[in-house]
């Protein structure tokens, strides 16, 4: 709509909403672009990425004494990547390690 045809005061309101909509559209495009990048990275992972070797369900990473270990959301199995158990046992001088292990297995 041209400014001459719009009633007085309406052009400012129209401009405000247009700017707001354009900003929202730009933010949505940026979000979708980021989602595409994340999806592309996810697609590059093997099919069994973060899947429990016992039950096949999804696993999550949990922090234990600064070491990220894998825990199955379904069967509650705990899995260590190469060297993680050794790191955890080396830090066992810290009193929180054994209680952390008990909380995982108990």
Domain presence at residue 26: yes
CA-to-CA dists, residue 28 to 12, 18, 40, 93, angstroms: 24, 15, 18, 49
pLDDT of residue 7: 52
pLDDT above 50 for 3: no
Most confident of 7-16, 18-27, 50-59: 18-27
User: Is 5 in the same domain as 38?
Assistant: yes
pLDDT above 60 for 106: no
Domain presence at residue 54: no
Domain presence at residue 31: yes
Confidence of residue 4 (pLDDT cuts 50, 70, 90): very low
Domain extent, residue 15, equals 1-44
């Amino acid at each position: 709509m041209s400014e001459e045809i719009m009633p007085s005061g309406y052009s400012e309101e129209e401009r405000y909403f247009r700017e707001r909509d354009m900003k929202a559209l730009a933010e949505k495009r940026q979000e979708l672009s980021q989602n595409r990048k994340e999806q592309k990275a996810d697609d590059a992972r093997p099919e069994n990425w973060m899947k429990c070797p016992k039950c096949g369900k999804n696993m999550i990473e949990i922090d234990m004494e600064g070491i990220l270990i894998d825990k199955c959301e379904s069967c509650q199995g705990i899995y260590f990547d190469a060297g993680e158990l050794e790191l955890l046992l080396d830090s066992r001088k810290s009193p929180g390690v054994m209680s952390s292990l008990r909380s995982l297995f108990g």
